[in-house]
């Protein structure tokens, strides 16, 4: 029976070494391949040397084989931890610091094994006694065993932690890895608990190889388990939004890299465990006082959308909260640009008719409430159709743009210049009387008449006609604009290149009738 078990162990070791080579060639395809290969190599060495130690009859061969199993044990234990770490979402290649720390015990173990004949700390007794090959464990063996169990326990804890933080779709592979790893650990616990001075079968390496073979099978051939599980930490790290998790007292439990970059601007060397209000920039803290969502513009011009989601149990008691901060600066800039485009004339860049109508209604209400004057000037380019017919619409567009820019440069900040349509423009003049508006319109008319417009067809000279109207008590925005339009009609009828304004608008005493506008000279 003994020979059969050990022969099976040797065969398993050969298969493990071959499988390890296959996994090693796949190390660029899968992050789990390299640790799996190392597990296979370590388990194969352990199983082979143990089998030789049991099957051999020569004492020196049995002793040497027993000592040679330790490199396989060390490699298997370290590789098991590496595999668990990668599966739990840690980096695929350990840092130099981690590799250095994990190399300390194997180096000490090599020295202890080579010098065990001098101090007998690994095996206090090893060899034949009364016709039986016996092994008694020394303190060094138990220290090595305790260290190995600690490493494997750390691997199990990483898997358990991965279960807690991984997304639901990847938890099954962690459960399978966890359960399969417990099997050889229990088997080893039974093997090393044998009575002192006796030799027993050690199925631990075979069980480890069975576990490694199962890991390799599900990673290689089961598509749904092939990828390294994604943890919630991976998700948080990938997010561009700043995510901060707070406990019920408002202290920081977890931050993703984006949140850490934001919070550390305030100068805090560390943030975990600190009250969120003490770490977050003051402008954000003030803006969120008493609210769970707000858009904040920082002193540097960033626009941040901030949301606080409260976490509560069924009883309603707070378990904490999640703060998500998203940089929406570009989005807000785009929104502002789109809003501006919606109220601008595409050709001239002036305000369009829709914006003018809304602004005019608002200006009329404000002027009426404040008892202040309000004037409107309606301008039209003279004989503009002739320009289009003679030089083409491209030149006509250049004329429109030149006149529009000239008006825009000539007005005050509070004035509004809009393109009403075609070759007509409107200038809204708050706190301006009819006479003042007429004087200003006259200056614009004179400037336009004496200025040459540069176009593709050469320099052209154009003139404008203007109609001026002032708001009278009880008038609406539409009535005011219509009054200016009839004044413009009078300017056109009077010979063009002139400014007209009804006498009633100058007096501002009453609403004009239709006939009074037509009689303006």
pLDDT digits (tens, 9 = 90+) for 167-225: 555 667 777 777 777 877 777 777 766 555 444 556 677 777 777 777 776 666 544 44
**Domain co-membership, 250 together with 212:** no
Q: What does the DSSP 8-state code read for residue 223?
A: G
Most confident stretch, 15-24, 109-118, 226-235: 109-118
- Overall average pLDDT of the 319-328 stretch: 86
Q: Judge if 98 and 13 occupy the same domain.
A: yes
207 and 292 housed in the same domain: no
Question: Given pLDDT bands bounded at 50, 70 and 90, which one contains residue 385?
Answer: very high
40: domain CATH number is 1.20.1070.10
- The CATH number of residue 250's host domain is 3.30.450.20
- Does residue 502 sit within a domain? yes
pTM over 0.85: no
Do 327 and 354 share a domain, yes or no? no
Tell me, yes or no, whether 246 and 192 share the same domain: no
Domain extent for 270: 239-332
Question: Is 234 domain-assigned?
Answer: no
Residue 6 covered by a domain: yes
Give which of 85, 133, 98, 137 is closest to 116, Cα–Cα: 137
Among 278, 313, 332, the domain-final residue is 332
Q: Are both 358 and 310 inside the same structural domain?
A: no
The count of structural domains within the chain is 3
Residue 209 lies in a domain: yes
Which of 297, 332, 367 is where one domain is finished? 332
Report, in this order, helix, strand and coil percent for the chain, each rounded to 5: 60, 15, 25
CA distance 191 to 186: 9
pLDDT in tens, 482-505: 999 999 999 999 999 999 997 654
298 and 398 belong to one structural domain? no
Specify if 185 maps to a domain.
Answer: yes
User: What does the pLDDT read at residue 280?
Assistant: 80
**Looking at 312, 332, 352, which one is the last position of a domain?**
332
Residues 23 and 77 in one domain: yes
Burial 399-412 (b: 16+ CB within 10 A, else e): bbbbbbebbeeebe
80 inside domain? yes
With helix as H, strand as E and coil as C, how does 71-93 read?
HHHHHHHHHHHHHHHHHCCCCCC
Residue 463 gets which letter from DSSP? -
Q: Assess whether 59 and 188 both reside in one domain.
A: yes
pLDDT, mean of residues 469-474:
94
Residue 89 resides in a domain: yes
Q: Evaluate whether residue 338 is within a structural domain.
A: no
CATH number at residue 414: 3.30.70.270
CA distance 48 to 317: 59
Q: How far is CA 295 from CA 82, 141, 286, in A?
A: 45, 63, 12
Co-location of 247 and 295 in the same domain:
yes
User: Same domain, yes or no, for 57 and 182?
Assistant: yes
């Amino acid at each position: 029976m003994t020979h059969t078990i050990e022969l099976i162990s040797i065969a398993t070791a050969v298969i493990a070494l071959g499988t390890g080579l296959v996994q090693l060639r796949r190390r660029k395809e899968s992050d789990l391949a390299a640790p799996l290969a190392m597990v296979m190599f370590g388990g194969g060495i352990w199983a082979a040397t143990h089998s030789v130690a049991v099957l051999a009859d020569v004492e020196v061969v049995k002793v040497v084989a027993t000592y040679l199993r330790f490199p396989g044990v060390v490699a298997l234990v370290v590789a098991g931890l590496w595999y668990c770490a990668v599966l739990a979402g840690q980096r695929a290649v350990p840092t130099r610091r981690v590799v250095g720390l994990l190399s300390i015990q194997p180096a000490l173990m090599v020295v202890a094994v080579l010098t065990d004949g001098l101090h007998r700390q690994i095996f206090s007794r090893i060899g034949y006694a009364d016709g039986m090959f016996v092994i008694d464990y020394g303190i060094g063996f138990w220290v090595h065993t305790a260290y190995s169990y600690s490493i494997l326990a750390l691997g199990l804890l990483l898997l358990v932690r991965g279960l807690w933080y991984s997304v639901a779709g990847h938890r099954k592979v962690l459960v399978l890895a966890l359960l399969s790893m417990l099997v050889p650990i229990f088997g080893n616990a039974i093997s090393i608990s044998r009575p002192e001075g006796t030799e027993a079968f050690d199925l631990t390496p075979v069980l480890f190889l069975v576990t490694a073979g199962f890991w390799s099978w599900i990673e290689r051939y089961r598509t749904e388990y092939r990828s390294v599980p994604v943890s919630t930490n991976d998700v948080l790290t990938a997010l561009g939004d700043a995510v901060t998790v707070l406990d019920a007292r408002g202290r920081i439990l977890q931050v993703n890299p984006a949140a850490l970059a934001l919070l550390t601007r305030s100068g805090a060397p560390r943030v975990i465990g600190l009250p969120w209000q003490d770490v977050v920039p003051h402008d954000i803290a003030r803006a969120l006082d008493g609210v769970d969502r707000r858009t904040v513009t920082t002193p540097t011009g960033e626009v941040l959308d901030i949301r606080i989601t409260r976490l509560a149990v069924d009883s309603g008691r707070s378990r904490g909260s999640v703060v998500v901060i998203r940089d929406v600066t570009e989005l807000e800039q785009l929104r502002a640009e789109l809003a501006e485009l919606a109220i601008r004339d595409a050709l001239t860049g002036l305000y369009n008719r829709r914006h003018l109508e809304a602004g005019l209604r608002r200006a009329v209400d404000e002027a009426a409430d404040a008892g202040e004057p309000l004037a409107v000037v309606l301008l039209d380019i003279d004989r503009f159709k002739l320009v289009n017919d003679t030089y083409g619409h491209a030149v006509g567009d250049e004329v429109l743009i030149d006149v529009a820019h000239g008006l825009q440069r000539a007005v005050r900040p509070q004035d509004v210049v809009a393109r009403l349509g075609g070759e007509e423009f409107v200038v809204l003049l708050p706190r301006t009387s009819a006479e003042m508006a007429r004087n200003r319109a006259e200056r614009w008319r004179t400037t336009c008449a004496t200025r040459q417009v540069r176009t593709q067809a050469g320099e052209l000279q154009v003139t404008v006609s203007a109609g001026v109207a002032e708001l009278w008590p009880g008038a609406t925005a539409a009535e005011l604009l219509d009054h200016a339009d009839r004044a413009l009609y009078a300017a056109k009828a009077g010979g063009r290149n002139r400014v007209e304004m009804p006498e009633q608008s100058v007096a501002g005493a009453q609403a004009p009738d239709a006939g009074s506008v037509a009689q303006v000279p």
